[in-house]
Structure 1
Amino acid sequence: MHRKIIFTVSCLLIISASACFAGLNYYEEKVHKFNYTVEGEIEIKPDKAVFPIILTIQGNSYADSLKNTQRITHQIISELKQLDNTVFTASPSDFFKQRDRGKTLLDVSFWRNDENKPESKLIFNIYVNFKTDHTFWQRAEFLAEAHDFIDRFIKRYKEDETVSVYPEETYYEIDRIEQYREEIIRSIYEKAKTMADIIASEEKVNLDIRQVTFGQHIVKEILNFNRASLTINADIEFAFDKTGENAN
């Protein structure tokens, strides 16, 4: 997977560091320390797109509505398999799984509608499973194909008052986020070293990185189907001595 480590040292951070040094009395104590919070960040691409579909089926009884729900679900999955089955897959949504959007989806529910007729509702997912070598345009084409597939089913049952096919908002997922922790930590060390080199050059002192305390959680931000970032915050303790030699 193509990934890019982001190295950004804010001008404001450098200015703040200089101001911090200006306010210190270098000669009051041999060793001086100061701390900064550094953000380690890498860019990756989402592994999959998720299309939640809600099927609401009316029947003469709950058993009848559920039977029709099964029939239509199997039909959708069967036709989906005619597409590239290495990319497109489907399955019922995970029972009571908490989504990133904070919305809990149930697999099947039953109730009577405004006309007092039994209905069943099934929520399932269509997945677009991206490969590591898929380009931007390949990913976009797969998404367009999934949208077209869903639109065909919506139109098929548009005139049927007993069937409702409703797509929810598409979202994207990253698999096995923990596998990236080591790479993010490496980016933090590299960023801290860059900061130390710049500050040492400006202030004419030698800096040591005394201690690094890492945050436990990896924060993800998924911008679109082709771009996402993972970050970990870390508290960096720098040290220098009044002679300009590395602090022990």
Structure 2
Amino acid sequence: MIEDIIKIAKQAGVKILEYYNEEIEVTHKKDESPLTKADLAAHHEIINGIRSIDPNTPIISEESGVPDFDERKNWNKFWIVDPLDGTKEFIKKNGEFTVNIALIENGEPILGVVYTPAMDLTYYAEKGLGSFKQVGNDIPVRIFSERADKSSPLSMIESRSHGSQELEDFLQKEDLNIKERIKSGSSLKICLVAEGKADFYPRMAPTMEWDVAAGDCVYRNSAKEGQHPSELMYNKENLLNPSFILGF
């Protein structure tokens, strides 16, 4: 199934890029987050694609609304999708936006695909089968990461567009030896930790489950043995995530 989901993510990426080189029209949702025609085009491509191969499993997409918890609480498996993660980066045209598709089972991601259309770069993972990076149509390469040692000099990756005072307060409190602060957008941040290009990713600003599920799957399965632990949980009554740190 992973090959099918990668194909769907890439097809959504094609839809997104149709709008990328044009003047981007931006509206705003109720929470003031930006919305473009590319978000909606990718959403429809993904929903139709998943339903064509898995018609019976529920789907939550950022652009389709969230069913009431009374309906969701008995789901043991569902898809969760962010059709265009990093809409602000898409609007800035810096390339750091992704298509995120994950399959959740019993509260954890068991399959995840993160596709970066502007870079033709794919990260993907399945529970127990490892994490991989694929550039274009090249042969996929297994990626690994190790949990960071807080006593060592550390490279930290952080959001390019969602900095917060809470993050600065956390860093001051922990008194970590930060040798490098890397900025990036979208789920690329989590994937760069999974790839070993950054030691850890602290996130104090708000995120939703669809923002992180696919990348979290890639991170968890980038361990050399077993899985990395992750504090992220899925199908909560409120899909808003608390602050989290990946890499420690």
Tell me which structure has the larger Cα radius of gyration.
Answer: 1
TM-score range, shorter chain: under 0.3
Q: Which has the higher strand share?
A: 1
Higher relative contact order (CA 8 A, sep 6+): 1
Give the TM-score normalised by the residue count of structure 2. Answer: 0.25
